[in-house]
Homo-oligomer: A and B are copies of this chain.
Amino acid sequence: MAERTNRRDNLVETAGRLFLQHGYDGTSVRQIAEAVGVTEAALYYHFKDGKRGLLEAVIGSQIPNLIHIVDECETAETLQEFVVQLGERLGALNPARMEKLRWMLTEFPRMTAHEREMFHHKHLAFQQRIASSVGRFVPDPTEARTVAATITCLIFGYGFLFFSLDLQSVSDLKQADIIRLFAQSLAART
């Protein structure tokens, strides 16, 4: 019984890694089964819906959970400090998370409505969590939510451009400088 679950989890994990590396269409069921050490037939026993069902399971496990990173920035005493801390933690410390998000973006067009909903739900919770933290420095709730959205756009935009599209290798601009300028600006907004 325990073995069954482990093998299933192992398949999802391995498929996730391969999908991330080579994309859904670029990865064959054969590759996945081989990497796990089972036959294709065994894979089809665990996933009655085959490759497509496997993708669904992977999507569920691949949506990055970022909320705890916001928790770690609770010690910030100014909006500027909060943004800088969040930027540092989200931007540089975990390239793997950015890779997952990049993958979500590449597979998004082929996702079902339900799969998209899972992602949206998680991201909105993340943004709401930021808005709640920002609320300490921005009293107006609507403005706090807009500030939160602006922060996520900036940080993810940096991630996509400089990390996923590797602009960091050809630009001398440092992430810290961009975040600092942005944080200063937000704190000084009229």
Contacts and interface: CB of A to CB of B under 8 A. Distances in A.
Given A106-B106, A188-B190, A116 B166 contact: yes
A23 interface: yes
B25 A164 contact: no
A167 B123 contact: yes
Contacts of A161: 123, 152-153, 156
Contact of A26 (B25, B145, B152): B25
A76 interface: no
A158 interface: yes
B124 A181 contact: no
Nearest to A121: B170
Count this chain's copies in the assembly: 2
A137 interface: no
A167 B122 CA distance: 11
Contacts of A92: none
B189 A181 contact: yes
Interface stretch (A4-12, A44-52, A171-179): A171-179
Contact of A108 (B124, B146, B164, B177): B164
Contacts of A186: 185
A58 B149 CA distance: 34
Contact of A165 (B119, B164, B182): B119
Contacts of A84: none
18 contacts: A21-B109, A25-B25, A105-B105, A105-B106, A105-B164, A105-B165, A106-B106, A120-B170, A123-B165, A124-B167, A146-B173, A146-B181, A147-B181, A150-B181, A153-B161, A153-B178, A155-B157, A157-B157
